[in-house]
Structure 1
Amino acid sequence: MYLPENFREQDAATIAAIIGNNPLGALVTVQNGALVADHIPFLLDSGRNRLLAHVARANPLWRLADRSQDALAIFQGGDRYVTPSWYPSKRRTGRVAPTWNYEVVHVYGRLVAHDDELAARETIEKLTREHEERRPAPWAVGDAPEDYVSKLLKAIVAIEIDITRIEAKRKLSQNRSAEDREGVIAGLEEEDNDAARDMARRMREREV
């Protein structure tokens, strides 16, 4: 992706947070000479530098692993439209234009498949804990009848992306003056939706 240096994000904790808060990735591979995108919830295993997930056994994606398949997982973070009306510089020069602020992470790596029930169980248990542990009454895989779980496990295949590199971009008005950035933050804070206020918060954190 086009990645000017002032938009490049290299902080590992920030990148992990973007993936963790937006785990539904678009996994791009080449199948039969054509680009294919599968939308899959992932879990970042930073300690082993990999992404974990599973797919339906009927999905041909996992069979690509035997072909040393390169893969790209895209995680879209927060994003908001930015109107030129928020820039104080508009009143002086008029030389402003609309834009879009956003966060995105591209994870590149090799697709690996683990076609066995134990790997599938470990993967769904990790994914389940990630999304359930903060709930008031967290659900666990063991809460379901074992015969039901076993049937489900036979219908899925565990996959992982063995990460080779990560590119992260946070376009948060870094290319504007401090005055214009403050104008964008103020405008976002006045918008009547949580996503806009969240973008304003991220912009303020970026300034610290």
Structure 2
Amino acid sequence: MFENVDVDVPAGGLLVAHGPGGSGRTALLLALCARMRLTTGVVQVGRDRAVGRGARRIQARTAIARADAAVEPEGRLTVAELIAEHRWSDRAVTTRAVAGAAWLLGLPLRGRTPAEDLDPLETLLLATALALACAPAVLAVDNVGRGCTRPQRERAWQALRTVTDTGCTVLATATEPPPTDPGADTVLLALPHRSAALLSPIGSQAQS
């Protein structure tokens, strides 16, 4: 989990929360989208706070492209099947909207290709296109650059900046910050490693 986070992201900006595994990146992303309750603190999107009806309004305005172990395209499905599944789960999404989002991201849609055969960058861009097709105010993308080469990571960040150019706010996490100039509207948030050394294992005191 995460703690002591204080961040303000402008509308149409890019948040990059970066840190090692176990630093709470995914939990933070879900909390910012009102998908996870906080024990303390508050999340606010516009005038809505993540409490009661405000939480439901935030959920309606946000879309999660990927969140490790929570939201991920099913690898056994083809690209066309994933699009059909997304249209079924959200009636506001159309094939044309998905195609437009993919074009914006520079992703060719190969309908018969199984998702598991896509490379890491294509997988990320497909998940982003599917989420972007519902025209959210806020788009969340977890673990940007996972499995990617450095050029692919650069391409992924460029694609997300293209999304912010449309006015959509992007919330992203990664193990490292973008490898290139983040831009004026980018907010970098370093999450500290929650070291196991701070947790005394059972019996350690008896051995010391």
Instruction: Give your verdict on TM over 0.5.
Output: no
- TM-score, L = length of structure 1: 0.21
Which is richer in helix? 1
- TM-score, L = length of structure 2: 0.21
Which is richer in strand? 1
